Each structure stands twice: as C-alpha cells, then as structure tokens.
Structure 1
Amino acid sequence: MKKLIIFGAGDLARLVSFYIEELNETKIIAYSVDDKYYTSETYLGKPLIPYSRIKRYAGTLNTPPLLVTIGYADMKARETIFKRIKNDGFTTTNFIGSKLAKTCKLGTNNIILPNVQIEPFTEIGDNNIFWNGSHVCHDASINSHNFFAANSLIGGNVIIKNGCFIAFNSTVIQNVTVEDDTLLGAGAVLTESNKKNRKYLGCPAKEVGKNTRGIKL
C-alpha cells in the first residue's frame, strides 16, 4: 500500500482523508502544518508534525510524497505553499477520486473528488481542486492553482489559465480563454474570453470589478 503525508489540518484535509481511507489504496502516515499552526501532536488520530521537522527529509530515500490540502479560501496561499514544498525537494502526488480518461494528461497535487467528469483529451496542470459534480469537457486545457466548485461546467476546447475560481453552477462555454486570476461567480455563464484579475457575475457574465488574489474569498 502506498504511503502519504498530508500537508494541512483543516476542512479540506479532513474531507480528502475521508475519501482516501474509503478507497483504501493509500495509507496516510502523518499530517504536517507550518510551525505557527502547530497546536497539537495529533490530527485525525495520526501524528501531526511541524513542517520544519519533516523538511530535513525532503528528497531522501523512502520519504512518502506530500499532498497539499490547503483549501480555496486563500487561493494565493495554496499556490505559495505548493511551490515552497516543491522547491524544498518534496515529491507531491494527486488524489483522484473519479475515473479519468486514459488520454487525460495530469500534473501533480491535483485533488479530484468523486463524481467529477473529465472528458478525453484534456490537459491539467498542477495544484487544482475539482469539487464533486464539476465537469470538464473534451480538449480543455487547465493550467495550475485553480478551483472548480460543485456543478461547474467547462466547455470543450476551453483554456483556463492560472489561479481562477469557478464558483457553484457556473459555466464557461466552448472555445473561450479564461485569463489568470478570474473569479466567475455562482451561476454565471462566461460566453467570451475575458481580462485577467477580474470578477464576473450574471448570465451572460459581466465584469463587476477586480479580483485580488491573496485575500480570502
């Protein structure tokens, strides 16, 4: 059985841990958090270890991969932590709770919850979260550090760049490019390529202001 260390001790870590244990294919041996968030010796019945203590083992033989489970509430923090862990020399892995087409190209540290549909010939980068019920159509290209909420729909041949937040029941129609740091609000329908660092609401979606990543959503 494969072994895994989970970075994070919040709601997303608890949820992903539930699904990992339900699949019974990977053993979680420990959790880790940055030292300033270390308040207990255990989490969910497993050891909780300050990151400074496990950092010395990065890249060494038999060190299990890490899975970053920092949630969507602070998108910039999630990206920063993922990059730091990679730069420190750790291997990261994916959690895949849904069946993917063999033609799907997948990076690392992606969290794909159950009941996600990702169609053939898609390309997915690193550190994305796909919530239950989200759907990515054929030939889409998803870059990195994005979040796809429940029942969001990404059309065929769409390009999603980096750091985008696609909210509940929102849609990006086919052949559209979604620029960096886009926030598409709940139920919105994006019908054309957009500007980066912007918020969009409505059907069809209209720009309503700037999106400053790094603040909590």
Structure 2
Amino acid sequence: MKTKNIIIIGNKSNAKLAHYYYTNDSEYNVVAFSVHKKYIKDKEFCNLPVIAFEEIEQRFPPKEYDAFVAIGYTDMNNLRKKMYQLTKAKGYSLPNYISSKCSFLTNEFIGDNNLILEDNTIQPFVSIGSNNVFWSGNHIGHDVKIQNHCFITSHVVISGFTVIENNCFLGVNSTFRDDITIKEYTLIGAGAAIMKNTEKESVHLAPRPVKLDKKSISLKI
C-alpha cells in the first residue's frame, strides 16, 4: 500500500527508471517529475505532469511531499550534486531507494538520495554518504566508506576498508583492492583493476583488447 508521495527530479532515462523502482518496490506514489523550466519540452513524462523546478514547492509543498533527484553522471556527477543541493534547500526530504532485491547488511551511517538497485551486496560495516548511485550487481566489501555524489555502475568489486571519495565514477567490471583510497573526482574506466591510491581528478583506463588479423571461423576452438 502506498503511504507517501514523491516527486522525481529529472526527465530523462534515470528519472524513468526511478519512477519504475519507486512505483513497483516502495511505499511511495510518484506524483510528478520536475526540471528547470527551460528544459521542459513536454508537459508529461511517464504519463505524469512535468513541473517547473522554480515553482515546485507551490504545487507540491515540502511538508507534504518528498523528492528524489534522479540524474546521471553528467560532469562527473556535478549536475546531480547541484540539483540535490537545490532540492534540499527548498526543504524537501530526499529518501533513499534501496531495492528489496539487494543484500543490504550494514547498520552504519547512510545519507539520503541514494539509489541502490537490485543484486548489490552491501556488506557489514559499510558507510554510505548521500546522493550516490549503485547500479545493479556490485559487491561493496566490509568496512568500505563511500562518500557523496558517486556513480558506481555494474559488477564493480570494492574490497574491504577502501574509501571512495566524493564525485567518483567507477566503470563496469572495475575492481579495487583492499585498504586504498580513491580520491575525489577519480574516473575509473570499465574493467580497470586499481591496486593503489589514486590522485584527485585522475583517469584510469584498462588495456584495450587487441584485434587479431584473423577470421574467427579459421580458429580451432
């Protein structure tokens, strides 16, 4: 039974997914979407009204409605960070979405506006800040600390006692050894194996596959 109402901040694919998850796996009823007036192209999205962010509190007062910022990793998560801060400044509570199909085993601190999708394993003693995205199927090892405004894609493995600082992007199938620090604004590409601390705003890419000068049907496999 739906007992609370929520507005989703955004009108792109992440907002569409947030609408699906909140509708099908939460106590919340999604009532509208909201973006700044200049970004409104259609008056409806997912059959719900799109309200100008500048006017949202008049239509949906913060004392009666919660909000969720559903924006991707644009500008190393800075756009989502900006909208998170603006939405909080309007007085809205920003609940976490934690999938009922993930293994969430920590009792440590967790902030707000986190999106944690299905098949994540969050081990004991993990602490999580605010406004992070955990796409499907990640392993977050014991005693890991995730700060704020990070985007963790899919099938990422973060080993115990590692710290992920603010505004990091962790690509698909990236791996992190234990007890290291990933400094803020680090970008980790798909498949990269990180074995030591990173530097602020650094970029780490895995070796790319080599294309052989052969046809697949000529190989004996």
TM-score norm. by structure 2 comes to 0.86
Amino acid at match of 1:67: F
Q: Spell out the pairing of 1:2-81 with structure 2 (5 A cutoff).
A: 2-23=4-25, 25-56=27-58, 60-62=62-64, 64-74=65-75, 75-81=77-83
SS at match of 1:21: helix
Give the Å deviation of 1:56.
Answer: 4.2
Which structure has the larger Rg?
2
Q: Is the 8 A contact 2:106 2:122 kept in 1?
A: no
Give the Cα separation in 2 of the matches to 1:57 and 1:180. Answer: 37
What is the aligned-residue identity percentage? 32
Aligned to 1:111: 115
Bigger Cα displacement from structure 2, 84-93 vs 124-133: 84-93
1:23 Cα offset (Å): 1.7
Aligned to 1:175: 179
CA distance in structure 1 between the partners assigned to 2:26 and 2:122 by the alignment: 23
- 1:157 has 2:165 as partner: no
Structure 2 unmatched ranges of 5 or more: 208-221
CA–CA distance in 2 between the matches of 1:159 and 1:12?
26
3-state SS in 2 of match to 1:151: coil
Q: Give the CA deviation at 1:15.
A: 1.3
How far has the Cα of 1:4 moved from its partner? 0.8
Q: Distance in 1 between matches of 2:41 and 2:88?
A: 25
Q: Which residue identity lines up with residue 110 of structure 2 in the other structure?
A: L
Return structure 1 stretches of 4+ with deviation > 3 angstroms. Answer: 55-60
Q: Which residue of 2 aligns with 1:195?
A: 199
Q: How many residues align?
A: 202
1:109 Cα shift? 0.5
Q: Secondary structure at the match of 1:121?
A: coil
What pairs with 1:116-135 in structure 2 (closer than 5 Å)? Answer: 116-135=120-139
* Residues 5 and 28, structure 1, Cα contact 8 Å, conserved in 2: yes
Aligned-residue Cα RMSD (Å) equals 1.6
**8 A contact 1:120–1:139 mirrored in 2:** yes
What displacement does 1:41 show? Answer: 1.9
- Give the alignment's TM-score, normalised by structure 1: 0.88
Residues 134 and 151 in structure 1, CA contact (< 8 A), matched pair in contact too: yes
- Is the 2:7–2:66 Cα contact (8 Å) retained in structure 1? yes
Give yes or no for the alignment of 1:142 onto 2:146. yes
Task: Determine the C-alpha separation between the residues in 2 that align with 1:186 and 1:168.
Answer: 5
